A and B are shown apart, each in its own frame.
Chain A
Amino acid sequence: MSGILSKMMTALRGGATEVGEAIVDANAIRIYRQELVDARDHLAKAKESLTEVMAEEMRCAREVQRLEKQVAEHEGYAVAALNKGDEALATEVAERIASLEQELEAQRQARTTFATQATSLKAQVQQIERTIHAHERELSIVQTTDSVQKATRSIGNHFGSGNSRLYSARESLDRIKDRQQKEQDRMQAAKELEAAGPEAQLEEKLRQAGITKSQSGANEVLARLRKKQG
């Protein structure tokens, strides 16, 4: 566990939130990046070693097979020599078998050693892969925090500069609802007009174009009253 979240929480609670003060300094990001580069380098080397060791193991396995076959062959020869009563030849072949068996034992041991090394290197590769994943996650947390801070600063400056204003939640909600209501009313009116048929629609069009007058407005009433007085 890297404990990166605990570190970030401590930093955030620590009040490093004053304008211009970064929770994540550029140096920290550089260190995390370098750790990641080192770990990837380490991984490449471990994989290379693993490939070499596995190749050696395979070579030994082939050698063991070859020697086993030779030993079997020579055992056949020795038996044939004994059957022929040629003790001297049988002894010579037996000496050859002894030498082959020594070599065989050496190759078997080497194969076991390489196999053990390969197992250990595989575990090492997995360990480095986990480390890289952890570093990538840490770097992501640190960089995201950094980006959000910087973005927040830009947004803050934007509102501070008077280009826009920040509304309170209630204001925003009221304004949005009001707009939604108006839109609904407009749609309702259009629907009613549609339902009222073509005659009403024409009347409405004429009224909107100012050709016909709607019900007399206050101004017309006043004008009429003045005329009556005068």
Chain B
Amino acid sequence: MKSLHQLVERLSALDSERCGGLIFDYQPMPGEVEVVQVTVQDREELPIYLTMADTQLLCICYLWGESEVDPERRTALYAAMLDMNIPMPLSSFARIDDRFAIFGALSRDSSVEDVALELATLSDNAVDALEAFADYLH
């Protein structure tokens, strides 16, 4: 995959079956590096951000902020997130600045179908994670 632009063009041409029945909308964002905001229909609150790093394609979905974490349950939350990291298909938990996120990293050589599967799985994982970890949040 040479550029995000090219990737988005090919993603847009895929039918929704390839995207796990989800409907994605792609919007490039201005900035120092190319970032594309992927809005998922009916899950507009949980957009996915696509960006091309050196050797990988990153798909990032922000989940909650530091301030939303119940301080008394912080350690338990961390442990639960680590416990879930491997069972969770294709995605992993992360923290970027003061926000917790869920992300998937793909090789830049991945096929457009692989990227679509990644996005669909990531979106499902994100909704699931909000539900599963709600107890640890305010």
A residues sitting closer than 8 Å to B (CB atoms) are 17, 136, 139-140, 143-144, 147-148, 150-155, 157-158, 164, 166-173, 175-176, 179-180, 183
Interface-facing stretch out of B12-20, B59-67, B79-87, B110-118: B59-67
Offer 30 A-B interface pairs, CB within 8 angstroms, sorted by A. Answer: A17-B97, A136-B55, A144-B55, A144-B56, A147-B53, A147-B54, A147-B58, A148-B51, A148-B60, A151-B31, A151-B49, A153-B31, A155-B49, A157-B31, A158-B29, A158-B37, A164-B47, A166-B65, A168-B68, A169-B137, A170-B68, A170-B134, A170-B137, A171-B45, A172-B46, A173-B131, A175-B45, A176-B43, A176-B45, A180-B42
Contact status of A144 and B53, CB under 8 A, knowing A169-B64, A176-B45: yes
- Bound CA–CA A148/B63 (angstroms): 16
Q: How far is the CB of A174 from chain B (nearest CB, A)?
A: 9
- Bound CA–CA A140/B57 (angstroms): 12
> In the complex, are the beta carbons of A148 and B45 less than 8 A apart?
no
- Bound CA–CA A148/B95 (angstroms): 11
> In the complex, are the beta carbons of B31 and A168 less than 8 A apart?
no
- Bound CA–CA A153/B49 (angstroms): 12
- Bound CA–CA A140/B56 (angstroms): 9
> In the complex, are the beta carbons of A151 and B51 less than 8 A apart?
yes
Which B-chain residue is minimally distant from A155 (CB atoms)? B49
Partner of A173, one of B56, B65, B134: B134
Note all chain B residues with C-beta closer than 8 A to A154: 29-33, 35
> In the complex, are the beta carbons of B46 and A155 less than 8 A apart?
no
Interface 1/0 per residue, B108-128 and A, CB below 8 Å: 000000000000000000010
Note all chain A residues with C-beta closer than 8 A to B133: 169
Note all chain B residues with C-beta closer than 8 A to A150: 31-33
> In the complex, are the beta carbons of A169 and B130 less than 8 A apart?
yes
Note all chain B residues with C-beta closer than 8 A to A158: 29, 37
* Number of chain B residues whose Cβ lies closer than 8 Å to a Cβ of chain A: 35
- Bound CA–CA A171/B42 (angstroms): 14
Q: Is the interface of B mostly helix, strand, loop or mixed?
A: mixed
Q: Is the interface of A mostly helix, strand, loop or mixed?
A: helix
Interface core residue of B35, B58, B65, B138 (most chain A CB under 10 Å)? B35
> In the complex, are the beta carbons of B137 and A166 less than 8 A apart?
no
Q: How far is the CB of B11 from chain A (nearest CB, A)?
A: 18
Note all chain A residues with C-beta closer than 8 A to B35: 151, 154-155
> In the complex, are the beta carbons of B33 and A183 less than 8 A apart?
no
Partner of A148, one of B29, B46, B62, B96: B96
Contact status of A143 and B32, CB under 8 A, knowing A169-B137, A170-B137: no
Q: Which 7 A-B pairs have the closest CB atoms?
A: A154-B31, A143-B54, A172-B45, A169-B64, A147-B53, A144-B53, A150-B33
Q: Is B38 engaged at the interface, CB distance under 8 Å to the other chain?
A: no
> In the complex, are the beta carbons of B29 and A155 less than 8 A apart?
yes
Q: How far is the CB of A112 from chain B (nearest CB, A)?
A: 44
Note all chain B residues with C-beta closer than 8 A to A148: 51, 53, 58, 60, 96
Partner of B32, one of A140, A153, A166: A153
Partner of B42, one of A144, A173, A179: A179
Interface core residue of A148, A158, A168, A180 (most chain B CB under 10 Å)? A148
Note all chain B residues with C-beta closer than 8 A to A168: 64-65, 68, 137
Q: How far is the CB of B26 from chain A (nearest CB, A)?
A: 14
Note all chain A residues with C-beta closer than 8 A to B37: 155, 158
- Bound CA–CA A167/B65 (angstroms): 10
